[in-house]
Structure 1
Amino acid sequence: MAEGEGVADRDIRVWLEGPAQPSDIGALRTWLEREKPLDALLRAGELQIQERHRTDETGAPMGIGMEIVLVLVGAGAGAVFDELLEQVKRAVGAWLANRRAVEAGEPPEGRVEPVNRDDG
Protein backbone atom coordinates (compact mmCIF):
# COMPACT_ATOMS: atom_id res chain seq x y z
CA MET A 1 0.00 0.00 0.00
CA ALA A 2 1.36 3.42 -0.91
CA GLU A 3 1.93 5.94 1.86
CA GLY A 4 -1.39 7.45 2.94
CA GLU A 5 -3.39 5.12 0.70
CA GLY A 6 -6.57 3.97 2.40
CA VAL A 7 -6.01 6.24 5.39
CA ALA A 8 -8.61 8.72 4.14
CA ASP A 9 -11.16 5.91 4.57
CA ARG A 10 -10.54 5.87 8.32
CA ASP A 11 -12.22 7.81 11.07
CA ILE A 12 -11.41 8.24 14.74
CA ARG A 13 -13.90 6.88 17.25
CA VAL A 14 -14.06 8.22 20.81
CA TRP A 15 -16.27 6.80 23.52
CA LEU A 16 -16.59 6.79 27.28
CA GLU A 17 -16.87 3.76 29.52
CA GLY A 18 -17.67 3.51 33.19
CA PRO A 19 -19.45 6.16 35.24
CA ALA A 20 -20.26 8.49 32.33
CA GLN A 21 -23.09 10.98 32.58
CA PRO A 22 -25.28 11.80 29.56
CA SER A 23 -23.78 15.31 29.53
CA ASP A 24 -20.21 13.95 29.32
CA ILE A 25 -20.31 13.14 25.62
CA GLY A 26 -21.48 16.66 24.74
CA ALA A 27 -18.87 18.20 27.04
CA LEU A 28 -16.13 16.08 25.47
CA ARG A 29 -17.27 17.01 21.96
CA THR A 30 -17.16 20.71 22.87
CA TRP A 31 -13.66 20.23 24.33
CA LEU A 32 -12.47 18.54 21.13
CA GLU A 33 -13.96 21.29 18.96
CA ARG A 34 -11.98 23.89 20.93
CA GLU A 35 -8.61 22.14 20.63
CA LYS A 36 -6.51 24.39 18.36
CA PRO A 37 -5.39 21.81 15.77
CA LEU A 38 -8.88 20.31 15.58
CA ASP A 39 -10.51 23.75 15.46
CA ALA A 40 -8.30 24.70 12.51
CA LEU A 41 -9.33 21.57 10.60
CA LEU A 42 -13.00 22.18 11.44
CA ARG A 43 -12.84 25.78 10.20
CA ALA A 44 -11.11 24.65 6.98
CA GLY A 45 -13.88 22.10 6.36
CA GLU A 46 -11.38 19.23 6.55
CA LEU A 47 -12.82 17.67 9.71
CA GLN A 48 -16.31 16.83 10.92
CA ILE A 49 -17.11 15.87 14.49
CA GLN A 50 -20.29 13.82 14.89
CA GLU A 51 -22.12 12.21 17.78
CA ARG A 52 -23.58 8.80 17.01
CA HIS A 53 -25.42 6.08 18.85
CA ARG A 54 -22.94 3.40 19.76
CA THR A 55 -23.79 -0.14 18.77
CA ASP A 56 -22.35 -3.44 19.84
CA GLU A 57 -22.63 -6.55 17.72
CA THR A 58 -23.51 -8.58 20.84
CA GLY A 59 -26.26 -6.20 21.97
CA ALA A 60 -24.45 -5.54 25.26
CA PRO A 61 -25.03 -2.16 26.95
CA MET A 62 -22.55 0.42 25.74
CA GLY A 63 -22.24 2.82 28.69
CA ILE A 64 -24.15 5.95 27.79
CA GLY A 65 -24.63 4.56 24.29
CA MET A 66 -23.07 7.45 22.38
CA GLU A 67 -19.73 7.95 20.70
CA ILE A 68 -17.96 10.78 18.95
CA VAL A 69 -16.63 10.16 15.48
CA LEU A 70 -14.07 12.45 13.88
CA VAL A 71 -14.24 12.27 10.10
CA LEU A 72 -11.42 13.65 7.97
CA VAL A 73 -12.50 14.89 4.56
CA GLY A 74 -10.58 16.20 1.60
CA ALA A 75 -7.61 15.18 -0.47
CA GLY A 76 -5.02 15.76 2.27
CA ALA A 77 -6.84 13.73 4.93
CA GLY A 78 -4.50 10.75 4.80
CA ALA A 79 -1.40 12.86 5.36
CA VAL A 80 -2.57 14.10 8.77
CA PHE A 81 -4.40 11.04 10.10
CA ASP A 82 -1.71 9.69 12.46
CA GLU A 83 -0.98 13.16 13.83
CA LEU A 84 -4.70 13.78 14.35
CA LEU A 85 -5.15 10.45 16.14
CA GLU A 86 -2.40 11.37 18.63
CA GLN A 87 -3.87 14.86 19.10
CA VAL A 88 -7.30 13.37 19.86
CA LYS A 89 -5.77 10.97 22.40
CA ARG A 90 -4.03 13.89 24.15
CA ALA A 91 -7.20 15.98 24.08
CA VAL A 92 -9.32 13.19 25.58
CA GLY A 93 -6.71 12.73 28.32
CA ALA A 94 -6.77 16.46 29.05
CA TRP A 95 -10.59 16.48 29.17
CA LEU A 96 -10.58 13.55 31.61
CA ALA A 97 -8.02 15.33 33.84
CA ASN A 98 -10.13 18.50 33.74
CA ARG A 99 -13.32 16.61 34.55
CA ARG A 100 -11.58 14.91 37.47
CA ALA A 101 -10.50 18.34 38.77
CA VAL A 102 -13.89 20.06 38.51
CA GLU A 103 -16.40 17.28 39.28
CA ALA A 104 -16.78 14.94 42.20
CA GLY A 105 -16.24 11.24 41.65
CA GLU A 106 -14.09 9.34 39.24
CA PRO A 107 -14.50 10.27 35.56
CA PRO A 108 -15.36 7.68 32.95
CA GLU A 109 -12.58 6.03 31.00
CA GLY A 110 -11.98 7.46 27.53
CA ARG A 111 -11.26 5.25 24.53
CA VAL A 112 -9.85 6.48 21.23
CA GLU A 113 -9.30 4.24 18.23
CA PRO A 114 -9.03 4.44 14.47
CA VAL A 115 -11.83 2.73 12.61
CA ASN A 116 -12.27 1.88 8.94
CA ARG A 117 -15.44 3.40 7.54
CA ASP A 118 -16.36 -0.04 6.24
CA ASP A 119 -16.38 -1.32 9.86
CA GLY A 120 -19.03 1.25 10.87
Structure 2
Amino acid sequence: MAEGDGMVTRGIRIRLGQAARESDIGALHKWLEREKPLAELIRTDQLRIDERSRTDEAGAPMGIGMDIVVAVTGGAAGAIFQGVVDQVRRSVDAWRANRRQVEDGEPPEADVEPVRPDDR
Protein backbone atom coordinates (compact mmCIF):
# COMPACT_ATOMS: atom_id res chain seq x y z
CA MET A 1 0.00 0.00 0.00
CA ALA A 2 1.24 3.46 -0.81
CA GLU A 3 0.48 6.39 1.38
CA GLY A 4 0.64 9.97 0.28
CA ASP A 5 -1.21 12.94 1.71
CA GLY A 6 -2.81 10.52 4.16
CA MET A 7 -4.53 8.62 1.34
CA VAL A 8 -4.22 4.89 0.89
CA THR A 9 -4.09 3.71 -2.72
CA ARG A 10 -4.49 0.15 -3.98
CA GLY A 11 -4.38 -0.77 -7.65
CA ILE A 12 -5.94 -3.19 -10.10
CA ARG A 13 -4.28 -3.77 -13.47
CA ILE A 14 -6.24 -4.80 -16.54
CA ARG A 15 -4.02 -6.22 -19.26
CA LEU A 16 -5.55 -7.10 -22.61
CA GLY A 17 -4.04 -9.91 -24.67
CA GLN A 18 -1.90 -9.56 -27.77
CA ALA A 19 -4.94 -9.51 -30.07
CA ALA A 20 -6.07 -6.20 -28.55
CA ARG A 21 -6.19 -3.09 -30.66
CA GLU A 22 -5.62 0.44 -29.37
CA SER A 23 -9.35 1.06 -29.80
CA ASP A 24 -10.04 -1.81 -27.37
CA ILE A 25 -8.13 -0.02 -24.61
CA GLY A 26 -10.13 3.18 -25.09
CA ALA A 27 -13.44 1.34 -25.36
CA LEU A 28 -12.82 -0.70 -22.20
CA HIS A 29 -11.70 2.41 -20.32
CA LYS A 30 -14.94 4.21 -21.22
CA TRP A 31 -16.99 1.09 -20.41
CA LEU A 32 -15.48 0.93 -16.92
CA GLU A 33 -16.15 4.62 -16.30
CA ARG A 34 -19.84 4.10 -17.12
CA GLU A 35 -20.36 1.01 -14.94
CA LYS A 36 -22.69 2.27 -12.21
CA PRO A 37 -20.84 1.01 -9.09
CA LEU A 38 -17.49 2.21 -10.46
CA ALA A 39 -18.92 5.51 -11.70
CA GLU A 40 -20.19 6.29 -8.20
CA LEU A 41 -16.73 5.67 -6.73
CA ILE A 42 -15.20 7.92 -9.40
CA ARG A 43 -17.75 10.63 -8.60
CA THR A 44 -16.81 10.52 -4.91
CA ASP A 45 -13.04 10.54 -5.66
CA GLN A 46 -12.52 7.02 -4.30
CA LEU A 47 -11.55 5.57 -7.69
CA ARG A 48 -9.39 6.64 -10.61
CA ILE A 49 -9.00 4.87 -13.95
CA ASP A 50 -5.84 5.53 -15.98
CA GLU A 51 -4.08 4.10 -19.02
CA ARG A 52 -0.39 3.31 -18.64
CA SER A 53 2.28 2.19 -21.08
CA ARG A 54 3.07 -1.47 -20.61
CA THR A 55 6.65 -2.31 -19.69
CA ASP A 56 8.69 -5.48 -19.82
CA GLU A 57 10.51 -7.04 -16.85
CA ALA A 58 13.40 -4.56 -17.24
CA GLY A 59 11.02 -1.59 -17.17
CA ALA A 60 11.37 -0.78 -20.87
CA PRO A 61 8.23 0.16 -22.84
CA MET A 62 6.79 -2.72 -24.89
CA GLY A 63 5.70 -1.38 -28.27
CA ILE A 64 2.33 0.32 -28.17
CA GLY A 65 0.96 -1.91 -25.41
CA MET A 66 -1.15 -0.27 -22.75
CA ASP A 67 -2.66 -1.38 -19.48
CA ILE A 68 -5.62 0.11 -17.68
CA VAL A 69 -4.98 0.74 -14.01
CA VAL A 70 -7.86 1.21 -11.58
CA ALA A 71 -6.68 2.95 -8.40
CA VAL A 72 -8.82 2.75 -5.27
CA THR A 73 -7.98 5.72 -3.06
CA GLY A 74 -8.97 7.11 0.29
CA GLY A 75 -9.19 5.85 3.83
CA ALA A 76 -11.70 3.13 2.90
CA ALA A 77 -9.50 1.68 0.13
CA GLY A 78 -8.65 -1.41 2.16
CA ALA A 79 -12.24 -2.05 3.19
CA ILE A 80 -13.75 -1.81 -0.30
CA PHE A 81 -10.85 -3.13 -2.35
CA GLN A 82 -11.94 -6.76 -2.87
CA GLY A 83 -15.42 -5.62 -3.87
CA VAL A 84 -13.93 -3.27 -6.45
CA VAL A 85 -11.68 -6.06 -7.81
CA ASP A 86 -14.77 -8.28 -8.20
CA GLN A 87 -16.76 -5.47 -9.86
CA VAL A 88 -13.90 -4.71 -12.28
CA ARG A 89 -13.72 -8.41 -13.25
CA ARG A 90 -17.49 -8.52 -13.88
CA SER A 91 -17.29 -5.27 -15.86
CA VAL A 92 -14.45 -6.56 -18.05
CA ASP A 93 -16.41 -9.78 -18.70
CA ALA A 94 -19.47 -7.71 -19.65
CA TRP A 95 -17.37 -5.54 -22.00
CA ARG A 96 -15.93 -8.65 -23.68
CA ALA A 97 -19.44 -10.10 -24.15
CA ASN A 98 -20.66 -6.81 -25.61
CA ARG A 99 -17.67 -6.49 -27.92
CA ARG A 100 -18.28 -10.05 -29.14
CA GLN A 101 -21.82 -8.99 -30.17
CA VAL A 102 -20.98 -5.68 -31.83
CA GLU A 103 -17.67 -6.43 -33.58
CA ASP A 104 -16.32 -9.21 -35.73
CA GLY A 105 -13.86 -11.62 -34.21
CA GLU A 106 -13.21 -12.76 -30.69
CA PRO A 107 -12.47 -10.01 -28.15
CA PRO A 108 -9.00 -9.96 -26.63
CA GLU A 109 -8.33 -11.99 -23.51
CA ALA A 110 -8.13 -9.87 -20.37
CA ASP A 111 -6.25 -10.35 -17.11
CA VAL A 112 -7.51 -8.46 -14.08
CA GLU A 113 -5.19 -8.54 -11.10
CA PRO A 114 -4.42 -6.52 -7.98
CA VAL A 115 -1.00 -4.88 -8.13
CA ARG A 116 1.42 -3.46 -5.65
CA PRO A 117 1.59 0.35 -5.77
CA ASP A 118 5.10 0.27 -7.27
CA ASP A 119 3.90 -2.04 -10.12
CA ARG A 120 1.47 0.51 -11.48
1:37 aligns to 2:3 (yes or no): no
Structure 1 residue 115: deviation in Å? 0.2
1:53 match: 53
**Structure with greater strand share of residues:** 2
TM-score by length of 1: 0.87
Structure 1: tracts of 5 or more residues without a match: 1-5
Contact 1:21/1:64 (CA < 8 Å) preserved in 2? Answer: no
5 Å-filtered alignment, 1:31-110, equals 31-57=31-57, 64-110=64-110
Tell me if structure 1 keeps the 8 A contact 2:32–2:88: yes
C-alpha displacement at 1:59, in angstroms? 7.5
Q: CA deviation at 1:112?
A: 0.2
AA aligned opposite 1:15? R
Greater than 2 Å deviation, 4+ residue runs: 6-10, 58-64
Unaligned runs of 5+ in 2: 3-7
In structure 1, what is the Cα distance between the partners aligned to 2:53 and 2:114?
Answer: 17
Please identify, of 7-16 and 109-118, the stretch whose mean Cα deviation from structure 2 is larger: 7-16
Aligned residues: 115
The CA RMSD over aligned residues, in Å, is 2.1
